[in-house]
Amino acid sequence: MRAADVGDPMMGRLVRWQGPTAAAEAIRRGSLPEEFVVRENIPEHGPSRIAELHRRFQAWRARLEIADPAADLETGHRAGARLVIPGSAEWPTQLDALGHSRPLALWVHGSADLRFSCLRSVGVVGARAATAYGVHIAAEFGVALSEAGWAVVSGGAYGIDGAAHRGALVGDAPTIAVLACGTDICYPSGHHELFAAIREHGAVVSECPPGVHPTRARFLIRNRLIAALSRGTLVVEAAVRSGALNTAGHAVSLGRHLAAVPGPITSEMSMGCHKLIRDRNAVCVTTPGELIELVGLIGDDMAVPARGPVVPRDSLNEATRSVLDAVPLRGGAGPASIAVSAGVDLTTALSCLGGLAAAGYVERVPKGWRLRKDQPQ
């Protein structure tokens, strides 16, 4: 895990072809198997493939020389983490969708079983520099998802990520923080207590060995894990230039659901979300129920459509409504003139006026009929 950069697909192919132990031996030995080199050198991978393979191979070898896997394992275990490898019971098989950039293994630190937790999980991501609106929404969605039995997967950062984790800790479902550094590193440092709570009610996960610090590249590569672990990703707030949009891109390219929360068009932090919605890459989501409907199973998880109150006026038939519209607010009008302006005959007008009076809409006055001040809406 120390030899190649996280998510290196060339290393991914070597490990998949030879197995991790043989791959490490080959690198140490300083000679790649001839057959692998031939396989890598196919035209579809581009012309300068062999030069690139050679360059990476030298880098892997240099790093492997100073790597100490046994010490890594011991450090990790002493910190309380476990190494989960492909094929083990806790391995989330949905990561296979990443192909050759699938992680070689994952460090997991926490009470939750990673595979089981992520069966019903949603990525909730967004800006670090979130607004109060975004933080509020992220926390509300976190609570509602967790209470509905959905694990919230996020990146443990300040802003939206932290709010989503905190909300999720309220419910029963576990929450998963995927870090861009070793699970023993607390980044950001202000989330020390949050990570402790996540370890207790979920898990902190990383493909980086213990002691590895985050870099920009690792953040971007980490984002593919959030997308790949979850059934779908929700972007709560994101500027137009934002790591959350990178995660969103991974969700789209993996064929997972993508949703975004709209916000005020005057807020820069909603511009990324609006762009995703405008480009029809993301579904516009306004309630946790709508999100669960999107990522859930058809039939099990249908959202209740937004609907206004049904008012008594709706239940009036067309003729009665016309008559009601023809009754004046002030003064009063006789049934004949009401019938004419409503466009109905006199008998109909009289029958409608009787019904409207009984329902409290109109009243009889010396000059005929008029609307009641306290009529139902």
191 binds its own copies (CB under 8 A): no
330 burial via Cβ count (<10 Å: 0-12, 13-18, 19+): exposed
Q: How far apart (Å, rounded) are the C-alpha atoms in residues 51 and 183? A: 34
- Tell me which DSSP letter residue 8 carries: -
198 or 339: CB nearest its own copies: 339
Identify the H or E element spanning 138: helix 132-147
Place of tokens 């990525």: 123
Near its own copies by CB under 8 A, which window of 13-21, 43-51, 148-156, 216-224? Answer: 216-224
Q: Which is nearer to its own copies, 97 or 220 (CB)?
A: 220
Measured from the CB atom, the residue of 110 and 232 that comes closer to its own copies is: 232
Measured CA to CA, the distance from residue 347 to residue 81 in angstroms comes to: 84
**Counting contacts by CB under 8 A, is residue 286 touching its own copies?**
yes
Closer residue to its own copies in complex, CB, 83/283: 283
Going by C-alpha positions, the residue among 249, 294, 305 that lies closest to residue 272 is 249
Which x/- pattern over 97-136 shows residues binding its own copies (rule: CB under 8 A)?
------------------------------------x--x
SS3 sequence of 227-263: HHHCCEEEECCCCCCCHHHHHHHHHHHCCCEEEECCC
What residues contact 358, with CB distance under 8 A and at least 6 apart? none
Candidate segments 113-121, 147-155, 192-200, 256-264, binder of its own copies by CB under 8 A: 256-264
Least distance (Å) between residue 141 CB and its own copies? 10
Q: Between 34 and 314, name the residue whose CB sits nearer to its own copies.
A: 314
Cα 214 from Cα 208, distance rounded (Å): 9
Q: Residue 334, interface with its own copies (CB under 8 A)?
A: no
Task: Note whether 262 binds its own copies by CB under 8 A.
Answer: yes
Nearer to its own copies by C-beta: 229 or 342? 342
Among residues 15, 290, 292, 361, the one that binds its own copies under rule CB under 8 A = 290
**Shortest distance in whole angstroms from residue 114 CB to its own copies:** 27
Determine, following the binding rule CB under 8 A, whether residue 215 of this chain makes contact with its own copies. yes
Which residue, 87, 79, 119, is CA-closest to 296? 119
CA distances (Å), origin 67, targets 19, 62, 343: 18, 9, 91
> Is 341 an interacting residue with respect to its own copies (CB under 8 A)?
yes
Residue 123 is given by DSSP the state E
Residue 13 or 109 having the CB closest to its own copies: 13
142 neighbors 148 (Cβ within 8 angstroms) = no
CA distances from 280 to 40, 253, 373 (A): 37, 14, 48
Tell me, what amino acid is at 330?
R
Q: Of 31-39, 45-53, 97-105, 275-283, which segment contacts its own copies by CB under 8 A? A: 275-283
Instruction: Check binding of 330 to its own copies (CB under 8 A).
Output: no
Q: Which one of the spans 73-81, 120-128, 225-233, 342-350 is the region binding its own copies (CB under 8 A)?
A: 342-350
Taking CB under 8 A as the criterion, the residue among 277, 333, 352, 362 binding its own copies is 277
Strands 175-178 and 151-154, by their bridges, are parallel
Distance CA(15)–CA(307), nearest Å, equals: 54
Residues of this chain that bind its own copies (CB under 8 A): 4-5, 55-56, 58-60, 62-63, 66, 133, 136-137, 215-218, 239-242, 261-266, 270-271, 274-275, 277-278, 280, 283-287, 290, 305-309, 321-322, 325-326, 339-341, 343-345
